[in-house]
A and B are shown apart, each in its own frame.
Chain A
Amino acid sequence: ETGVTQTPRHLVMGMTNKKSLKCEQHLGHNAMYWYKQSAKKPLELMFVYNFKEQTENNSVPSRFSPECPNSSHLFLHLHTLQPEDSALYLCASSQDQRGTDTQYFGPGTRLTVL
């Protein structure tokens, strides 16, 4: 499989649940990103990883916990979420964390928090 894949595509969870989102890229890239896309809002950057090291945490609440075990995989662990966390969560990757490297986006995970 090529490109950036995300699983699951849809997730419904209660506020007390713990779940994880998975992202995998098959492009040989070194940088990976988590974004949140809410209705009526532009993309919000959450986390950036470069060579498995987190380089940016954009003031994200601790109920979101990222993990990057290697350059190809990125996880977003979720616990005690709030209904306002319902959104589309997009993963992206780029060759490196440079300004001119195009980011390739996955299909997203549609998260609904009840």
Chain B
Amino acid sequence: EDKVVQSPLSLVVHEGDTVTLNCSYEVTNFRSLLWYKQEKKAPTFLFMLTSSGIEKKSGRLSSILDKKELFSILNITATQTGDSAVYLCAVEPPFGNEKLTFGTGTRLTIIP
């Protein structure tokens, strides 16, 4: 069975700090790895990663996938209180016939 593990489960940092969230997976085959920010009601899409070693950036957020070591990281620099959320990592199966496999999430709290 596919498995996605995120660490840490919870993280509390001060505003302005840089954080790195980890996602490791045990998946035999997948089409993409997705990062979501779950802030209010529903996960908000952040990144879709399909190729190993290519960093994707969006403002203060960046993410990279390592298919050899089977993990992905999400970096947030110069954190702000608005970054407080649960960050979810998910793996998309190759043929779109099955559900996303979600990780447990990392609860990030930014202290002013």
Contact = CB atoms under 8 A, between A and B. Distances in A.
Q: B39, B40, B85, B107 — which one has the most chain A CB atoms within 10 A of its CB?
A: B40
A102 B34 contact: no
A61 interface: no
B36 interface: yes
B99 A88 contact: yes
B48 A42 contact: yes
Contact size range, A: 20 to 34
Q: Sorted from nearest, which 5 A-B pairs have the closest CB atoms?
A: A45-B42, A42-B45, A39-B96, A108-B99, A99-B40
Contact of B85 (A90, A99, A110): A99
Interface string A76-114: 000000000000101000000111111101011010000
Given A42-B34, A43-B45, A102-B38, A107 B99 contact: yes
Nearest to B85: A99
Nearest to A110: B97
Contacts of B39: 99
29 contacts: A33-B41, A37-B99, A37-B100, A39-B96, A40-B96, A45-B41, A45-B42, A55-B41, A56-B41, A90-B99, A90-B100, A97-B41, A99-B38, A99-B84, A100-B84, A100-B86, A100-B107, A100-B109, A102-B86, A103-B38, A103-B43, A103-B86, A105-B99, A105-B100, A105-B102, A107-B99, A108-B98, A108-B99, A110-B98
A103 B84 CA distance: 15
Interface in B20-34: 34
- Chain A interface, DSSP helix/strand/loop, else mixed: loop
Contact of A43 (B42, B85, B105): B42
B85 to A, nearest CB: 6
Contacts of B105: 102
A48 B97 CA distance: 25
B95 to A, nearest CB: 9
A29 B84 CA distance: 22
Interface in B82-112: 84-86, 96-100, 102, 104-105, 107, 109
